[in-house]
């Protein structure tokens, strides 16, 4: 690697020129931490949330849609709304909000699933009572 200031040939991995002492490798500018609740200044780039390896925030969108269609519409709608909020909150840098929305989506999915099971069980019970009543007469 040649020094752009004095032209001296340096090793490829050297950070400083051996002749003049100039920095050879560009040092990346420090990245300011993102604080939740702050607004980025115009013209600056505010990075999203960087999750640690192995950490994920599931959005349960598929489960919410299936629970809405097949189980219970009124309780499935909040599940879809919360599931749709997860990715948007992650992009805004709100990790805690994304985790809360994910938990709410999961809860409403299970409520919808349970309500659907309860309605199915109730309709089967009514059908059996109708068959028993017709046999009795």
Summarize pLDDT for 30-86 with one digit per residue, the tens.
555 555 445 554 444 445 556 666 568 899 999 999 999 999 999 999 999 999 999
Q: How confident is the model at residue 24 (pLDDT cuts 50, 70, 90)?
A: confident
Q: Which residues contact 49 (CB under 8 A, 6 or more apart)?
A: 34, 90, 93, 94, 95, 98
- 18 within domain boundaries: no
SS3 content of the chain, % helix, strand, coil (to 5): 55, 5, 45
DSSP per position, 86-106: HHHHHHHT-HHHHHHHHHHHH
- 132 within domain boundaries: yes
How far apart CA 37 and CA 46 sit, in angstroms, is 12
HSE toward the beta carbon, residue 16, CA cutoff 13 A: 4
- 6 within domain boundaries: no
Q: How confident is the model at residue 27 (pLDDT cuts 50, 70, 90)?
A: low
pTM for the full predicted model: 0.59
Cβ atoms 5, 22 nearer than 8 A: yes
- 94 within domain boundaries: yes
Range of the domain at 129: 61-136
For 102-120, how does the pLDDT look when each residue is reduced to its tens digit (9 = 90+)? Answer: 999 999 999 999 999 999 9
How far apart CA 118 and CA 108 sit, in angstroms, is 15
Total structural domains within the chain:
1
- 90 within domain boundaries: yes
How far apart CA 11 and CA 70 sit, in angstroms, is 67
pLDDT for 11 equals: 82
pLDDT for 7 equals: 79
Q: Which residues contact 47 (CB under 8 A, 6 or more apart)?
A: 31, 34, 93
């Amino acid at each position: 690697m040649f020094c752009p200031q004095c032209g001296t040939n340096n090793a490829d991995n050297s950070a400083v020129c051996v002749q003049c002492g100039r920095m050879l490798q560009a040092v990346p500018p420090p990245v300011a931490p993102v604080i939740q609740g702050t607004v980025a200044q115009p013209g600056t780039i505010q990075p999203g949330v960087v999750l640690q390896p192995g950490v994920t925030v599931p959005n349960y969108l598929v489960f919410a849609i299936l629970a809405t269609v097949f189980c219970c519409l009124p309780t499935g709608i909040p599940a879809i709304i919360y599931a749709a909020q997860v990715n948007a909150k992650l992009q805004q840098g709100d990790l805690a909000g994304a985790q809360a929305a994910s938990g709410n989506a999961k809860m409403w999915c299970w409520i919808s699933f349970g309500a659907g099971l309860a309605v199915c069980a109730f309709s089967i019970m009514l059908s059996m009572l109708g068959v028993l009543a017709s046999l009795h007469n």
